[in-house]
Amino acid sequence: MRCQLIYAANVRAGLSGEFRRALLPHFEAFQIARCPFSNVPDRTEGRWGEGLTTARMSACRWLDPFLVARIEFLEWTLDNRLRHPRFAGIRSDKDATEVMRE
């Protein structure tokens, strides 16, 4: 069975504008044309705007999923999304193919 990449949240907290601007040039080499997630688009943005709709996806830049980020969050929602996610760093001890929902 092939592993699927699942969209869980849009994470902005913990990523300053300066940090995002510094990362962007490094990401250009890893840009891909298609969305790598198997569970989007969502029909609606949802109650808290967490949904990734077709309209929102059209503004996204997709990257080859090779980095692993450590994300802190309050809980998983009933819709299998992260509530209040916050970027806490990059993990170099784990390969992207080894990531599982914790």
Output phi, psi for 81, to 5 deg.
-120, 160
Q: Does 91 map to a domain?
A: yes
Report the pLDDT value the prediction gives residue 102, as an integer from 0 to 100.
Answer: 78
Determine, yes or no, domain membership for 82: yes
Mean of the pLDDT values across residues 5-22? Answer: 90
Any idea what the CATH number is for the domain that residue 55 is in?
Answer: 2.40.50.140
For 10-19, letters b (16+ CB in 10 Å) and e give ebeeeeeeee
pTM more than 0.85: no
Compute the average pLDDT of residues 52-78: 90
Structure tokens at 88: 């806490």
Range of the domain at 25: 17-98
Question: Tell me, what's the pLDDT at 2?
Answer: 59
